[in-house]
Structure 1
Amino acid sequence: MFDWNRSCSYDEQQKRRFHTTARSRLKKLAAELALPPGSYDLRSNKAGIAVSGEVTLHHDRAYIQVGQFGLSSGHGILIRTCKGRKDYTGGPNHFVALTMLDDIPALAAAVRAITGVGRGATIPADRRAA
Structure 2
Amino acid sequence: MFDWNRSCSYDEQQKRRFHTTARSRLKKLAAELALPPGSFEIRSNRAGIAVSGEITLHHDRAYIQVGQFGLSSGHGILIRTCKGFKDYTGGANHFVALGMLDDIPALAAAVRAITGVGRDDALPASRYAA
The reply to whether residue 37 of structure 1 matches residue 19 of structure 2 is no
The equivalent residue for 1:26 is 26
Normalising to structure 1: TM-score of the pair? Answer: 0.93
Normalising to structure 2: TM-score of the pair? Answer: 0.93
| Deviation at residue 38 of structure 1 after TM alignment | 0.2
Q: Please tell me the root mean square deviation across aligned C-alpha atoms, in Å.
A: 1.0
Letter of the 2:111 counterpart: V
The equivalent residue for 1:103 is 103
Whole-Å separation in 2 of the counterparts to 1:98 and 1:120: 24
| Deviation at residue 88 of structure 1 after TM alignment | 0.1
SS of residue in 1 equivalent to 2:27? helix
SS of residue in 1 equivalent to 2:111? helix
Structure 1 alignment gaps of length 5 or more: 123-130
Whole-Å separation in 1 of the counterparts to 2:121 and 2:64: 16
The equivalent residue for 1:65 is 65
The equivalent residue for 2:15 is 15
SS of residue in 1 equivalent to 2:3? coil
Larger Rg: 2
SS of residue in 2 equivalent to 1:24? helix
Whole-Å separation in 2 of the counterparts to 1:33 and 1:2: 22
The equivalent residue for 2:6 is 6
| Deviation at residue 70 of structure 1 after TM alignment | 0.1
After TM superposition, where is structure 1 displaced by more than 6 Å over at least 4 residues in a row? Answer: none
Whole-Å separation in 2 of the counterparts to 1:115 and 1:97: 17
The number of aligned residues is: 122
| Deviation at residue 121 of structure 1 after TM alignment | 4.4
Matched residues, percent identical?
A: 91
- Aligned pairs for 1:73-88 (under 5 A) are 73-88=73-88
Letter of the 1:80 counterpart: R
Letter of the 2:86 counterpart: K
Whole-Å separation in 2 of the counterparts to 1:76 and 1:53: 11
Whole-Å separation in 2 of the counterparts to 1:4 and 1:90: 26
